[in-house]
Amino acid sequence: MNENDSLDERMTSPVMGEKKSVDPSSIVIFGASGDLTSRKLIPALYHLFCAEQLPTPFRIVGFARREKSDIEWRAELKEALDKFSRTKPVDEKLWETFSANVFYCQGDFSDSKAYVKLEKMLGSFGNEALRRNLLFYLATSPSQFAQVVEELHGAGLLSLEEPEGSWQRIVVEKPFGHDLPSARKLNADLTRFAHERQVFRIDHYLGKETVQNILMFRFSNSIFEELWNRQSIDHVQITVGERLGVGGRGGYYEEAGAIRDMVQNHLLQVLSLVAMEPPVSLDAEAIRDEKVKVLKSIRPLGKGDVEKQVVRGQYFAGMIDGQLRPGYRQEEKVKTDSDVETYVAMKLFLDNWRWSGTPFYLRTGKYLPLSASEVRIQFRQTPTVLFAAKSGNQLDSNALTLRLQPNEGISLRFNGKVPGTSLKLRPVKMHFSYDTEFGAYTPEAYERLLLEAMSGDATLFIRRDEVETAWGIVDSIRKGWEGKPLSNREFYSAGTWGPVASDDLLAQAGHRWRDPQPIQ
């Protein structure tokens, strides 16, 4: 695209100003009747098509148990798209062209004959590449991964020896197991008939523009790059706040809790990007090597450390927007005496040269006052000898805040002299807003991720060793919680920033949480 292209045109492109090279290929979605397919995957593929990012030709095949025709499935998807599309109204003409490439294959995951049918369908598409370049999206329960993979192999659609000049890839989503042993088993299942390089594990946080920018920001700006270490940074706060409760997902949440649902993946991924060393190149493996090193450098948490460094929380009934929200224990499918955490805060140390002694505070929770995710880099204070007396507690240390969502942007906070005859100082702020600078550019993470998987770039996907190392950390924390019910200091009212115990965690070191603000 060039400067003369209209703004609208550029805004619809998931990779501004650049077209990814993607081979003609077929995308097969297992679990085609599920929510993920209609809410996220099909809208993402439709938008990629609108932005002319899908290859020519391409095919999408939905594989699921229910009996239905191609026409019926397309109609269902259209209905969902009308509801969930990020651009409205849906362009009828483009949808017509797009959906002519969408097919349905009825079958049970455990039925070998269904895979033979799938193989035949792919073979009937008329273009050799559509039969040979295959992306299998497993939007199924992880308990079905092993079977699907084995059956695909049996039908000759997936193998460790990809036929010359073609590719076969698997895309999966969390949960990647529920602890280290189950994650290892899952990874072993996935790589029985495929190499690790054929497996693309999604963490949708890595599809977020602002999360990707962490790396670019750090390593392309010398003024920050030079300060990004223990000498200049006092501590780091990573907050992923959610204003919603667990809603209808009580059953799932009882099994997962905030630590498996959010920390094992999203928070530890953000932490890796914030703390990693510069990679030797921008290749997927170089970047992932550095990320995994960060996870490996996290100081192990023994039982006693968990007590001192990790806080759980659970919401009780409280007001949000003037409305009373139920406590977690009153949510559907939740035990009335459940000790499952809807909030976690932790203090981690990275035992490596760059970060030795610098605390990294991570927190996430449901029913907090605001849905907002931020990384806050709190710099060290200057000596207070000169201004403290004049400025009192107004003198604050510098902070750089990377606002990941919403109101995406970056703010730098520093002190400025209040105009006038006094020597008073006050914190002021410089702010960069993505919207103001680049316009409202809001592609869904799935658009970017699907495109990357189709083009074979694994940078934004989680490698096996990252998953397993992250589980090691989470498992040690969960071990520390075993047999310990929540204490009174670990409950918080819905609509507040978490339990008192979480404030205490920071207060030990003279720190305090800096809560994200509604408008940046």
Site for ligand BG6 in 189-208 (CB under 6 A): 204
Site for ligand BG6 in 38-57 (CB under 6 A): none
Show the tokens assigned to 478: 């969960």
Q: Which is nearer to ligand BG6, 10 or 39 (CB)?
A: 39
What are all long-range contacts of 422-428, with beta carbons under 8 Å and residues at least 24 apart?
A: 422/390, 423/387, 423/390, 423/391, 424/390, 424/391, 424/394, 425/387, 425/390, 425/391, 425/394, 425/395, 426/391, 426/394, 427/394, 427/396
- Contacts with ligand BG6: how many residues (CB under 6 A)? 3
**Distance of closest approach, residue 257 Cβ to ligand BG6, in angstroms:** 11
**Distance of closest approach, residue 165 Cβ to ligand BG6, in angstroms:** 36
Q: Which is nearer to ligand BG6, 261 or 490 (CB)?
A: 261
**Should residue 305 be labelled a site residue for ligand BG6 when binding is judged by CB under 6 A?**
no
C-alpha distances out from residue 423 to 201, 281, 381, 390, 430, Å? 55, 48, 18, 7, 21
Q: Which is nearer to ligand BG6, 406 or 427 (CB)?
A: 406
**Distance of closest approach, residue 383 Cβ to ligand BG6, in angstroms:** 39
State which residue has the least CB distance to ligand BG6: 261
Q: Which is nearer to ligand BG6, 181 or 247 (CB)?
A: 247
| Residue at token pair 């009308």 | 82
Q: Which of 47, 178, 266, 431 is catalytic?
A: 266
Site for ligand BG6 in 236-255 (CB under 6 A): 242
Exactly one of 151, 209, 261, 374 binds ligand BG6 (CB under 6 A); which one? 261
**Distance of closest approach, residue 43 Cβ to ligand BG6, in angstroms:** 15
SS3 461: strand
Cα gap 18→12, rounded to integer Å: 12
Do 350 and 297 meet the contact criterion of CB atoms below 8 Å apart? yes
204 noted as active-site residue: no
What is the b/e burial string over 49-76, where b = at least 16 CB atoms within 10 angstroms of the residue's CB? bbbebbbeebbbbbbbeeebeeeebbeb
Site for ligand BG6 in 307-326 (CB under 6 A): none
C-alpha distances out from residue 148 to 145, 174, 183, 201, Å? 5, 16, 17, 16
Q: Which is nearer to ligand BG6, 122 or 214 (CB)?
A: 214
**Distance of closest approach, residue 261 Cβ to ligand BG6, in angstroms:** 5
Interacting residues with ligand BG6 (CB under 6 A): 204, 242, 261
Which sequence positions are flagged as catalytic? 266
